[in-house]
Amino acid sequence: MTAKYPASRPLTDKEEAEIQAMIADDPDAPEVPDEQIARAQPFSKACPELYAGLQSAQRGRPKMAAPKEVLSIRLAPAAIAWFKSRGRNWRQKLRRDLEKLAGL
């Protein structure tokens, strides 16, 4: 597919005029008058209730009361092999065993 107006060279005056005419004829992108630009406000001032609602909205997963923490430990290869031999979810089983040992 070849571009009608390649970026590898400057536009000619005729091409620039064609582009400006297409922009002017586009009903989805009307020219914004200076008066309207002068009245423009930030969204937070134009719609404060909606803005406050969006700011207070909880996004994503709910926070846990006591989230688990990431820990890195070094174990003997034989210990790791034993836990892996217990099957799927060996990490969760290791965690449960440690919690049981600690009396939690």
Question: For every one of its 104 residues, what pLDDT tens digit does the chain have, with 9 covering 90 and above?
Answer: 577 877 888 999 999 999 989 888 888 888 888 999 999 999 999 999 999 888 877 778 888 888 888 989 999 999 999 999 998 999 999 999 999 999 98
The reply to whether 41 falls in a domain is: yes
Q: Is the pTM of this model over 0.85?
A: no
For residue 92, is it within any domain?
A: no
Examine residue 90 and state whether it is found in any structural domain, yes or no: no
Instruction: List Cβ neighbours of 11 (8 Å cut-off, separation of 6 or more).
Output: 5, 19
Whether residue 36 is contained in a domain is answered as yes
Phi, psi of 42, rounded to the nearest 5 degrees: -65, 150
Which sign, positive or negative, has the C-alpha torsion 62, 68, 70, 76?
negative
The range of the structural domain enclosing residue 32 comes to: 13-55
Domain count, the chain: 1
